[in-house]
Structure 1
Amino acid sequence: MSRGRAKRQMIADLADPGVMSLEQLKAEVAGLVRADELSARRWACEVPECNGLPHEGWLHHHARAAQRQPLWLWTVWMLLTGRGWGKSRTAAELVREWAKTPGLQIAVVAKNATLVRDICFDSPKSGLLSVFPPEEVAKYNSSLGETTLRLKNGTLIRGFGAETPDNLRGWAFDKAWADEYAAWSRHTAQEVYDMLWFCLREAELPQVVISTTPKPLPHVKRLVERGRAQEKKLQEGGEPPRVVLTRGHMRENDANLSPAAREELEEEYAGTRLGRQELSGELLEDVEGALWKGWMLEVEGFRPRPEHLPDLQRLVVAVDPATKSHEDADMTAFTVAGRGWPVETMFGDDRPRGYLLHCEQDRFTPTAAMKRAAALYHEHRADCVVIEANNGGDYLPALLGQVDPTVNWRIVHATRGKRARAAPAAQLYEQARVSHVGPARLFAELEEQMTTFVGQGETEDSPDLLDSAVWALWDLFLDPTMPPPRAGNDQRLSGRR
């Protein structure tokens, strides 16, 4: 009702267009448009727990309560949230608030110079140019060599790429915005962050806002641990935290998101490890003793599209079979993997790379399992099927031969424990030499097994998908003593490049 009264009063205050000249009418319309533009730029109201939707006094969408900066004296505000939560807009609006002080020097740092310009400055919905009124801007320089925004009050906002720490050497700033901190190179991110703080050494009130989707990387976890420790002290009656953590899910910003895009993202990623990170904004903690660490699944290029793969010199289907098929039996797992040399690294790191193309698991009878292995073999034009034959499974190759005599196969036996066998495969991931090709959902179960597998013997569930992936990588990379596959009648591979 209050919003209705406000609108009726606004209409009553309008001039009567019937007694206005054309010029007066145009001026009135222009004034109304300008007033609406100014209203739309307003950011944060004082209503506690405001959801950011229009209400009396705020006719446009604006900041939710979680998007308003902490009221106490803080030094680092880390927006550790899911995609679409509004963290970039929140950081840009905070920079605008800082910039009201004349003569400030503000740094904006992103993964590289291109992203600084295109995301932090030029983005039409969350960039700095979208939140600053044009009349406040004196000059904007958007060249890749130098991205700067100079305001009429003398404040200067300067963009930097986080490629190398020396990009920041020698500068002095009062405030800083670090965008997508978790996407910075894990090799240099901590050093760039440290250099940024050296640039703030003379600031009267140094502050850094960090907007990032969380990833379990050392430089991210270090800040999160500081924030958690300070939150704990606050709960025990201590001082408010100087490192403030704000967490949030994509759904909190539903009012500003495309329903179709949201549904597509949730259908594709909900329930997956990647979805917990990218949608829920969870910082996925590493399991103590696990061979695979979360960052190994986050390196650049880890999830290439199928059309971007190089020619694969070898390709195998690895099978970790169950010897029983009743409802409580272990799963039979299949992994399809290949080996090749990506063109872009051919003249740098000349080692071959592994590509997991497919994985699945289910309960099969032995015959059904071998039929599925043969189907994957033909579908992916593989070189051979690698079958673990422990626990009485030695008959499976013969069964595969009966199901499809054209399939080349290799039989392997586990002579060491699961952890000892898996450790060299995990090292391939640590060296960033393995990629998972295709949608994250396809590998969700495998990646969960990887990041939780410790190898505690009988006390730990058998990771069937992980076992099959390990066998595939051993065959492709790790065991030069593997015998050649049993020759079959299939000639399909002769023409494959």
Structure 2
Amino acid sequence: MATIKTASQIRLTSSQKQAALLASNPSNRYILYRGGSRSGKSYLLSYILLMRAISTPGSRHGIFRKTASSCRQTLFDLTFRQVMEDTFPGILSTCLISDSEATITLPNGPDPKNPYIGGAIFLFLGLDDGRRDKILGNEFATVWINECTEVDYDHVSFLMTRLNQKLPQIRNDELGQPIYLKPKMFFDCNPALKTDWEYKAFIQKINPKDNTELQKAWQWAEAKLDPEGNSDNIDPDYLDMLNNLSVREKRRFVAGEWSDVNENALFRQDDIDKHRRDIDISHLQRIVIAVDPAVTNHKKSDLTGISVAGRCSRGDIYVLHDGSDKLPPAGWADRVAELYEQYQADLVIAEANQGGDLVQSNLRSAYGALPVKLVRAFRGKELRAEPVAHLYAQGKVHHPRRPLTDLEEQMGMFGAAAFKGSPDRVDALVYAITELADLNGNGPRPGAIIINAGNRRR
């Protein structure tokens, strides 16, 4: 078997050494390194993965970011190669590097004539749409998600199913028995909000999907790194710049701590969490389904927002379901019709700004007798949402105890400068609550069109 005999030349900072101990603890399966900007998180994790690979021929190590291009530019092309050269000078010249596939293979396979066959390999991958099939064909000894705040927990759950490669290391225990490399999953981030999945999992020890207690919570560990602990590797002017940030920015980019709420968002997670309720839909006097159809139907199209909500006799509103998805016109019409039947709804509200005739025909083809109210938006999205956000602040809107995660995450960013894309889920929610609370006044506002109106509830 070919081995790498060069002695490690890297010098970790004291805080990095302390944090690295988490990786050597066999009890820790999921490990988060959080910290401020330039605190050395990516450098440390590159080192940890490199040492795991060198000790375990044949092992596969998946390194992920939100997109393949960002993974290639920041890690494959830069940080990871730098760490390899800092740790073992000259090692890159002995590795098999595929620029087209974004892989690096170590020369530690069992055949000295071709040590790349069966050598440990690093795969630099993205979690973009359409890349799951490529990932499904692999099992990994290590998974690292870089900048994990940018990644949905659905991706995390998916990658957990790929963490299943168990291989012997090149060393044995005192009895001569092989020591196996334990599969581990690593994460790093600049913390943002306490509503983010990584705060729930690593700090609160709850499942981000349903707020239940994590199974084997002791396997989830985290450590904090700070820029000052990495000062030997940072330009002093950069540290001065960090110290001139606002208090909120310092909390994230210097202290590496999560913030309670997004100060610029229109909806507050605290308002949602304080007033969660479960309800039997038979106790609701009225139930509506709101749909905000996507304008286009292709790979990069927005979602079609679909929201189900009801109102009880006291006037409180209950958000029952978020059915938003990327669907063709016939698909979202069928989804609305199915939810209409499932919840025994009274009315469908649909935005008609992008072609009311098409919306009407799609819904009628899915369910001929569907009572539909077409509404044309005359105000901006935030102006329409403000009265609804006020109802949340008053505790008059209730979400189920099991979080509507995707909807609530979008609500938590809506109105903030960092929000990108279309607030499709929120738009549908706003239309549903506006109708139930009659926020436009009594009856339909000018421009609203009622088609086949009816009432099925008793």
Give the TM-score normalised by structure 1.
Answer: 0.44
Give the TM-score normalised by structure 2.
Answer: 0.47
Higher relative contact order (CA 8 A, sep 6+): 2
User: Which is higher, the Rg of structure 1 or of structure 2?
Assistant: 1
Q: If each structure's helix is expressed as a fraction of its own residues, which one has the higher value?
A: 1
